[in-house]
Amino acid sequence: MKECWLCGRNGSFDPLDKHHIFGHTNRNKSEKYGLTVFLCHDRCHLNGEYAVHRNAQTMQMLHEYGQRKAMEEQGWTIEEFRNEFGKSYL
């Protein structure tokens, strides 16, 4: 079942969006390695106080989560992650 990465809601009131953890030039790589999460469209994705696109701390938390997930799933070191995504967030 889908749920919001940030608050755990299931999208029944505020529909869930798919967000790419590493955006911009790394968007395709996020897709390739399955580094995406669901977020409540309004509250947790775009407009809320803690929404990832508005709150630098939430964005940092999500980048850390994504990097650890990628390193675990791909068996990468920090250096290997950096080679693929351009920087380390840890």
Cβ 77 to Zn ion shortest distance, Å: 27
Q: Which segment (30-38, 42-50, 60-68, 79-87) binds Zn ion by CB under 5 A?
A: 42-50
Q: Closest CB to Zn ion among 40 and 70?
A: 40
Cβ 73 to Zn ion shortest distance, Å: 21
- Closest-CA residue to 70 (of 8, 22, 3, 2): 22
Measured distance CA(30)–CA(32) in Å, rounded: 6
Measured distance CA(45)–CA(32) in Å, rounded: 21
Binding site for Zn ion (CB under 5 A): 4, 6-7, 9, 19, 40, 44
